[in-house]
A and B are shown apart, each in its own frame.
Chain A
Amino acid sequence: MSELQEPLVRFIEVQKSYDGEILVVKNLNLDVARGEFLTMLGPSGSGKTTCLMMLAGFEPATHGEITLEGNPINNVAPHKRGIGMVFQNYALFPHMTVFENLAFPLKVRRMGRSDIEAKVKRVLDMVQLHDFAERRPSQLSGGQQQRVAVARALVFEPQLVLMDEPLGALDKQLREQMQYEIKHIHESLGVTVVYVTHDQSEALTMSNRVAVFNDGIIQQLATPDVLYEKPDNAFCAQFIGENNKLIGTVKDKSGNNCIVDIPGSGIVHALDVNAGNIGGATSLSLRPERVEIDPSEGKYPNVFEGKVKELIYLGDHIRTRVNVCGHDDFIVKVPNISDHASLVKGHPVKVGWRADDCRALDVYQEP
């Protein structure tokens, strides 16, 4: 985001409470750049949908200000905001045909008939549904309904489109296909998208930036690769991707590194991200694919003895569950390459990893 260009949407110290006792959204500050695909990712009840509803205007903010193109919109009615929205269950009007659904936002804007027809045709072509204009939504498959919903949110050419878990109702294959389609539409139109999902792989696939929500707070706001490789805290490390967690106490810190004592197992060298003070508890985060089985002597500062508990063959890799450092659920992904180590359930095994791949974070307590 360049400093010259003003963000399209700004949340400034926004708070939201439904009952006056609990804050669902706590002090949210977020800028959405023009043309950006920003995903709000988080478990249910984390406040992400509430943020979207406040932006759409269906929920008032309890405190703070939301601006669109620099103008506060807290008191602007939803139908005057000009924000397109795709709903979780599409909310296609069942009594209208696909054409009428798409023409609806244009008709209420009192556009001319020929303009309407041209614009509807254009979006129908965009979502490849030109043959379905006269069908009712109920005569379409889930994927087609989804496309119509996207087209309807775009047909009146809004600057900003909100999507509230739009792919939740589709099966896995279709969902992945739609992820790419939506991504391509976003790229070709240059429209700004704020997308809400609880599916982390969806978020990583589609977004320019992801805001990870938990407990009404943005835990981390970063691009997908940063989010996966450099999680700021234990929640993000756990929520995004697979993660091995080791709990220990900080023994010593030097520069970016720290030494962590895992009770009963020994010392781990780790990267100090968010480890807290010496003597305090820390949670070590280690991606399963960054662990090596039977490493050569002296390759890694961290080498431990373990025991193979379970082997799951997944084609491209073998998911191996190992008992290491007193943890029974330590996962190692062994790539299925021609000379990979042969593993037998119940046999002892050595595992090792780099200090930089092992991030010392805060301790996240599951609620």
Chain B
Amino acid sequence: MANEIIGGDVVLAADGTPLKASLNKAMRKNRIRALLLVTPLFLFIVFSFLIPIVEMTFRSVDNWQVGTLMPKTTTALAGWDGKALPDEPVFAALIQDLQAGAKAREIGKVGTRLNYEKSGLRGMITRSGKKSLKVKEGPYKEKILKMHKKWKDLETWTVIKRNTAPYTMGYYLNAVDMKYDKSGEIVMRDENRRIYGKLFLRTFAISMAITLICVMLAYPIAYLLATLPLRYSNLLMIFVLLPFWTSLLVRTTAWIVMLQSQGVLNDLFVFFGLVSDDNRLQLIYNLTGTIVAMTHILLPFMVLPLYSVMKTISPSYMCAALSLGANPMVAFIRVYMPQTLSGIVAGSILVFILSIGYYITPALVGGTDGTLISNQIAYHMQKSLNWGLAGALGALLLSSVLALYLIYNKIVGVDNMRFG
């Protein structure tokens, strides 16, 4: 018994309106309500998360300084072939830009930008800016060449010309330890000046190590949590979650107290004669410190997904495996562990992503060889103020995490992931 009326190809509702339209009308209220419920969080995320990320990522390619602050030179250089020093018209344009920039006190920004590409150019620009104010008439080429010896260097002009473009790859090249050479070709930096590639590798290696240690520590705990009777497992769960409820800084400083050379652990070692007093172990302000403290902090993120997966595995699987003749070890490895795989992967991906961008703990206990890429990003954000480079490093970090996530999604499927 169908109640709908068939009008042509369109199914009609009882009152003759198309059924689809009538359904839409009926659902509209629900849809609006759902939208309203989501809006506050959506706006918050847009303003606090998406816009800043887009902003910083844009800075990593943005190259406004030369084009905006030296507009005349930019136009004059457009036709330059780069084979020899430019001719008088370019210098005439340059002197006007320098004068305008110096008066507006903006020329330093050009200097800073150019200095990222080739050191020494900041000094050249600022000094020339000051001197340019005294220049009244041409020929300008001669006078400018006298202002600073670098103006005579062809490479200076190559750098300036390259950066008249509104967008640059320079920050990204820098972030992967590459640069433009004298002729403008992209080459690797000198061996001793490669920083970020090593740092990225170290970040990945440390994160991997922390993830592995977390799996090994969390697996037995999660197993215990999932199999103990509820009243015991609740208590144990509180111990697992306790670090969550304690400030990150408190936990990190607690590890400093524990691990430092005059700290609790070393005192115990000395007391039991494991190490001599003047041979105390260096456990903090290095790689060891970073790994120990971060493992401790990130452990709950491994325990919870594992626990939630293990909780759903009925004990009858193990019983079944035993009754089928598998000894307990084989039963565990062949029957129990494969079923926890989604938990292991979920926890690993969580811990790995968290540790790859970890900042505060390595900053406090990492010393020199225990710092991660995020510490470099923070350095460029706060100290060197090279936000373009910070943006490029951040974007690389973000995209590597996204890539990992995609790979993971391909292999395991996000639907199979379960957290806490």
Contacts and interface: CB of A to CB of B under 8 A. Distances in A.
15 contacts: A56-B323, A57-B323, A78-B319, A79-B323, A79-B324, A79-B331, A83-B323, A85-B320, A93-B317, A93-B335, A105-B324, A108-B324, A153-B324, A156-B325, A162-B323
A87 interface: yes
Given A79-B324, A91-B320, 19 more contacts: A58-B319, A77-B327, A77-B328, A78-B319, A79-B323, A79-B327, A79-B328, A79-B331, A80-B325, A85-B323, A87-B316, A93-B317, A93-B335, A94-B339, A95-B341, A108-B324, A108-B325, A108-B327, A156-B325
B319 A87 contact: yes
A143 interface: no
Given A79-B328, A79-B331, A104 B316 contact: no
A91 B318 CA distance: 9
Contacts of A35: none
A79 B319 contact: no
Interface of B: 314, 316-317, 319-328, 330-331, 334-335, 338-339, 341
Return the 7 tightest CB-CB contacts between A and B, nearest first.
A105-B324, A91-B320, A85-B323, A91-B316, A78-B322, A108-B326, A95-B338
A84 interface: yes
Contacts of B320: 85, 87, 91-93, 152
Contacts of B326: 79, 104-105, 108
A89 B325 CA distance: 19
B339 A95 contact: yes
A138 B38 CA distance: 35
Nearest to A109: B325
A108 B317 contact: no
A152 B320 CA distance: 10
A43 interface: no
A83 B319 CA distance: 12
A84 B323 contact: yes
A79 B325 contact: yes
Contacts, number: 72
A85 B319 contact: yes
A82 interface: yes
Contacts of B339: 93-95
Contacts of B319: 56, 58, 78, 85, 87, 91
B314 A91 contact: yes
B272 to A, nearest CB: 40
Nearest to A161: B323
A91 B327 CA distance: 17
A88 interface: yes
Contacts of A108: 324-327, 330, 334
Interface in A211-270: none
Contacts of A84: 323-324
Nearest to B317: A91
A89 B330 contact: no
Interface in A97-132: 104-105, 108-109
Among B323, B326, B327, B341, the most chain A Cβ lie within 10 Å of the Cβ of B323
Contacts of B324: 79, 84, 104-105, 108, 152-153, 156
Contacts of B317: 91, 93
A144 to B, nearest CB: 17
A162 B339 CA distance: 25
Contacts of B327: 77, 79, 108
Interface string A62-86: 0000000000000001111111110
Contact of A104 (B314, B328, B334, B341): B334
Contacts of A156: 324-325
A56 B338 CA distance: 25
Contacts of B330: 108
Given A79-B331, A89-B316, A95-B339, A104 B323 contact: no
A227 B420 CA distance: 52
A79 B341 CA distance: 25
Given A88-B316, A89-B314, A79 B322 contact: yes
Nearest to A155: B324
